[in-house]
Structure 1
Amino acid sequence: MCRRVPVTLIVVVMSTAHWIAAVRARETRRADRLFADPLASELAGEQGAAMMSRSEAASGGENRFIPVRVRWFDDAITAAVGAGIRQVVLLGAGLDTRPYRLDLPGDVDWFEVDRSTLFSLKEPVLAGASPCCRRHTVAADLAGDWAAPLCAAGFDPTRRTLWVAEGLFFYLAPESVVGVLGEAAALCGVGSLFLADVMGAAGLSVPAMQPFRDHLARNGLPPPFGSDDPAAVFADGGWALADLTAAGGPGANYGRLPETGSGLRRGWPHLVTGQR
C-alpha cells in the first residue's frame, strides 16, 4: 500500500511527538487554555521542551495553529461520539492522551495505531492513569500492513468508525496519504467519518517552513505533504467531503487566529471531515 518510511523520518516523527506534547503542556498552563492535558508535560520531557524552543527560534515564533488544531479535533471527536459512534481509530497516535482527558463514554473502543517504539515511551507514563473508555494499542507501521494488527486487536469493520489523523499526513508521501485513506475506507461502512488536517501546498514554501524543509533535504527525505485541494485527496481515498475549514475559519479559531472566511483558502492549513 505505502512505501517504506526511512529510519531518519521515523526519528523526526518521534521527536515531533515530544514537541507537540510540549505545546499541549504549555497550553494547559495558560489561564485561557483551549484544553487541559495533565499528562502532556511528563510525556514531553526535557526533549520536547527543547525541541519546541528550537523550532520556535528557527521559525520566528510560537505556532499558534497547533492548540487550535488540538481543540478542533477534541470538539469533532466529542461531537462524533455524541452522535453515536463508538469505535475510534487514532492513526499515528504519537503521545496523544485523549482517552484520559476527554469525557468519552465508557463503551467507546479507542484504538491507537503507531510503532512499538512509540508505545514503549508512552505506556510507562500512562501506567498510573485510567482511561475513561476502552483503550487498545496497536503496534503497527502505517507504511506497512496495519489493517491486520488493528483487526486482531478487536477492531470491528461492521461498526461505524471515526478515523482520526492529526498531524499525520504532513509526514507522508502523496501516495501514502491516499493509501491510508483508502485502507480506512475499505474497513468501514456508511456513516463512518475521517478527520484530518491537511497543510496547504502553497504554505509549504513560506519562510517559517524552510528550516524543516532543509532538514529533510539534508537527510535525503521527501518534502512534507500538502494540498490545496483536500476534497480531491479525500475523494481519491474513497471519502466524500463532509466539512472543510481553513485555520482561523468558523469552528477553527477560538479567538487565537486571524479570522478567515468559510471554505477553501489556498495555501492555508485545513481541517477536513470526510464521510462514507
Structure 2
Amino acid sequence: MGTVGAVAGTAVGPMTIVAIEQYEATPLVRNQLARSFLPATARTLASFGRFGWARRLFFTATERKLPGLWASILCRKRHLDDDIVTAIESGCTSVVVLGAGLDDRVCRIPALATTAVFEVDLPCNITTKYRRLHALCGDVPANLTLVPINLATEDLSRVLARHGYDAGQSTYFLCEGVTQYLSAEDIRRTLDALASAPAGSRLGFTYILDEFVTGEALHGGHRAHREYVATGKLWRSGMNPERVRSLLVERGWRIREDVGAQEHTERYLTPNYRGLRATAIERTVTAEKTS
C-alpha cells in the first residue's frame, strides 16, 4: 500500500475540504461532523473557513496543485452518499468501507443507523478512528465494526470474516479515494475478494486515470503529479474506463455508472451556481452484482 505512514495521512485533506465547505451558503455536501473528525491542527485550519478570504485561500492553494480537485472531492462524496442511500433502500443490509480513513457516514447518514457497517483500513488509521469516536460519542456506534488490515499483505475475506462480517448478506462496498494507492495486483486481489458477494450487492469506488499516473496527460496537475507520483510515489495505479469495465464484468458486476468531470458538472456544479469545475483525472464508478 505504498509507504504506509504517508498513505495513512492522506485521509485528512479530503475531510478538511468537506469541513471548510460547510461555511458556504449552499454546500455541495452537507456534513456538520466533518470538522469534529479532523485532528487538532486540521480542525483549527478548517475553522478559518468561516471567513470568505480564508476559503478562497484554501481553494486557490488546492487548485494550484490540481485544477478541479476541490470540486471533484465534493462531487464524488455527494454521488457516493446518494448511491449508498439508494442501495440500502434497495435491500443492502450491510456496508463495507474499504480504506475508511476519517469517513463519518455511519454517524451522519440516517439510512445507516440500523445497518451493519464495517470500516476497513490500515491499523494506524483504525486506532485514530477509535479514539476519535470515543472522544466524540463516548464509544464506537453499536452497528460499526472497525477492521484493521493492510490490503497489500492480508486477505480481505478472511479478515472480514474474523470480525463478524456475513458474506451472505447483500452488501454495499465503498472504496473512495483509495485505488490509486494500491498496486494493480492489490486491486485485482481486492476485487477477487468481492466477487463472491451475493447478487444485488452494490459497489462504489473512485479511480485515477492511467494517463495521469503515467504522465501522458496531466490536465494541468503538474504539481500533483510531482507530489503524488514522481517524487512521493504514493499513487501507484491508474485505470481507464475500458479496464475498469473488464475487471468488473469478469467478476460478475454490472456497471451502473462510470462518471467524471462532465457528469459531475451537469449534476452537481451547474445547479449550485458556484462556478466550480471538476478535474478530468478522477472518475466515480457504481456497480451492481448480477451473478
TM-score by length of 2: 0.78
Identity value in percent: 24
2:75 paired residue number:
68
Shift of 1:245: 2.4
Instruction: Select which of 144, 155, 159 maps to 2:169.
Output: 159
Report SS of the residue matched to 1:136: strand
Note if contact 1:213-1:223 (Cα within 8 Å) is conserved in structure 2.
Answer: no
Structure 1 residue 131 displacement after superposition: 7.4
Q: Secondary structure at the match of 2:103?
A: coil
What amino acid sits opposite 1:226 in the alignment? Answer: M
CA contact (8 A) 1:246 1:271 kept: yes
1:243 paired with 2:252, answer no
Structure ranking higher on relative contact order (CA contacts 8 Å, 6+ apart): 2
Q: Is the 8 A contact 1:178 1:237 kept in 2?
A: no
**Aligned-partner Cα distance in 2 for 1:202–1:13:** 21
Matched, 1:191 2:200: yes
* 1:269 matched to 2:263: no
CA separation of 1:33 and 1:132: change in aligned 2, threshold 3 A = farther
For 1:78, the aligned partner's letter is: V
Deviations 1:199-219 (A, max 9, x none): 233354315433333233335
User: Are 1:234 and 2:248 matched, yes or no?
Assistant: yes
Q: Deviations over 1:156-210 (max 9, x none)?
A: 1111111111111122222222221111112x11111111122233354315433
The one of 4, 17, 20 equivalent to 1:23 is 17
Look up the SS of the partner of 1:63 in the other structure.
helix
More helix by share: 2
1:208–1:124 CA distance, 2 compared to 1 (3 A):
farther
Residue type matched to 1:93 in 2?
A: A
* TM-score for the superposition, normalised by structure 1: 0.82
Q: Which amino acid aligns with 1:178?
A: R
Q: CA deviation at 1:82?
A: 1.0
One-letter amino acid of the structure 1 residue matched with residue 257 of structure 2: D
Cα distance change of structure 1 residues 123 and 213 upon mapping to structure 2, 3 Å threshold: same
Runs (5+) with no aligned partner, structure 1: 259-266
d(CA) in 1 for partners of 2:29, 2:219: 29
Unaligned 5+ residue runs, structure 2? 47-57, 273-279
User: Does 73-82 or 149-158 show the bigger shift?
Assistant: 149-158
1:172-211 to 2 correspondences below 5 Å? 172-186=182-196, 188-204=197-213, 205-211=217-223
d(CA) in 1 for partners of 2:155 and 2:12? 25
Q: Does 1:12 align with 2:6?
A: yes
What are the Cα deviations for residues 79-105 of structure 1, in whole angstroms up to 9, with x where unaligned? 100112111100010100001111125
**Change in 2 beyond 3 A, CA 1:33/1:18:** same
Q: For residues 12 and 207 of structure 1, do their structure 2 counterparts lie closer, same or farther at Cα, with a shift above 3 Å needed?
A: farther
Count the aligned residue pairs.
260
Cα 1:85–1:221, aligned 2, differ >3 Å: closer, same or farther?
closer
Q: CA deviation at 1:151?
A: 1.1
**Aligned pair in 2 of structure 1 residues 114, 176: CA closer, same or farther (>3 Å)?**
same
Q: Do the aligned partners of residues 13 and 87 (structure 1) sit closer, same or farther apart at CA in structure 2, a change above 3 Å counting?
A: same
Look up the equivalent residue of 1:155 and give its one-letter code.
Answer: Y
Indicate how the Cα distance of structure 1 residues 227 and 93 shifts in structure 2: closer, same or farther if over 3 A, else same: same
Whole-angstrom CA distance in 2 between matches of 1:252 and 1:193: 24
- The 1:158/1:226 distance shift into structure 2, 3 A limit, reads same
Distance 1:235 1:99 in 2: 29
Distance 1:252 1:165, change over 3 A: farther
Which aligned pairs between 1:14-53 and structure 2 lie closer than 5 A? 14-45=8-39, 46-47=41-42, 49=45
Q: CA RMSD in A?
A: 2.9
| Equivalent in the alignment of 2:147 | 138
The answer to whether the Cα contact below 8 Å between 2:181 and 2:234 also exists between their aligned partners in 1 is: no
What letter corresponds to residue 96 of structure 1 in structure 2?
A: D
